[in-house]
Amino acid sequence: MLKHIIKLLPTIILIFFSTLTVAKAHNHFPITTKSKIMIERGKIAYQNYCVSCHMVNLAGAENWKEMDEDGHRKAPPLNGTGHTWHHDDQTLHAIIKYGLAKLVKNYQGKMIGFEDNLSDKEIDSVLAYIKSFWPKEEYEYQINLSK
Ligand code: HEC
């Protein structure tokens, strides 16, 4: 019996490591713009949940660097002209899922989370849609950041 196991050991080790590789390959980050279906799905979710603040073409609120009438920050552009591409996918996913309220202590602003409305897959799709607006350089920078 033991002899058998020893004989099989290289195979067992091989299977173990290939499972690890597969598990890594299934990690959904970085999110790319390769899937047109994903982008289309993300666009629908964006129009339902994000467009009211981040606006069409993801341009953000007018004068987004200023405060709104409540003294909160306005919605920034997500189209690559702001700083969204400085954050990796894990951070962006968390901002959308949990909102800044759960990530920043004593947060008073308006970016609430969407975990009750959007699945992880839908959040990834929104990110693919958002990234489809980014210039090549920003896109590639952020992809590397998210690996
Ligand atoms: C009620 C208005 C509102 C809605 C709706 C909203 N956001 Fe935001 N969002 C904001 C504000 C305001 C900020 C800036 C947060 C701050 O600094 O307080 C922000 C920040 C962000 C950021 C960080 C951007 C960066 O450059 O750091 C991301 C990403 C984002 N929102 C994505 C989304 C997505 C995706 C949706 C839809 C699922 C969405 N937001 C819906 C108001 C909103």
Q: How much is the pTM?
A: 0.86
CA distance 73 to 66: 7
Pocket test for ligand 1, best of 53, 63, 131 (most atoms within 8 A of CB): 53
Q: In the chain, helix, strand, coil percent, each to 5?
A: 60, 0, 40
Say if residue 90's pLDDT is above 90: yes
| Segment 22-42 mean pLDDT | 83
- Residue 102 has a pLDDT of 87
At 2 the pLDDT is: 65
pLDDT of residue 80: 97
All structural domains of the chain, each given as residue ranges with its CATH number in brackets, are 30-145 (1.10.760.10)
In the predicted structure, residue 15 carries a pLDDT above the cut 80: no
For the beta carbon of residue 115, count every other beta carbon within 10 angstroms: 14
- Average pLDDT of the residues in 111-120: 96
Would you give the DSSP letter of residue 61? S
pLDDT at 82: 96
Average pLDDT (59-67) is 97
Residues 127, 92 contacting (CB under 8 angstroms): yes
Cα within 13 Å of Cα(26), Cβ side: 6
For 104, the token pair is 């920043």
Q: What value does the mean pLDDT of the chain take?
A: 89
Rounded average pLDDT over 108-134: 97
Verify whether ligand 1 is closer than 6 Å to residue 75 (CB atom).
yes
Q: Please check the confidence at residue 14 and state whether its pLDDT lies above 90.
A: no
Identify which of 69, 96, 101, 72 has the alpha carbon closest to the alpha carbon of residue 84.
96
| Whether residue 30 has its Cβ less than 6 Å from ligand 1 | no
Closest residue to atom 23 of ligand 1, CA basis: 84
Q: What's the pLDDT score for residue 26? A: 47
For the cut 50, the answer to whether the pLDDT of residue 68 exceeds it is yes
pLDDT tens string 46-57:
999 999 999 999
Instruction: Report the distance separating Cα 110 and Cα 81, nearest Å.
Output: 20
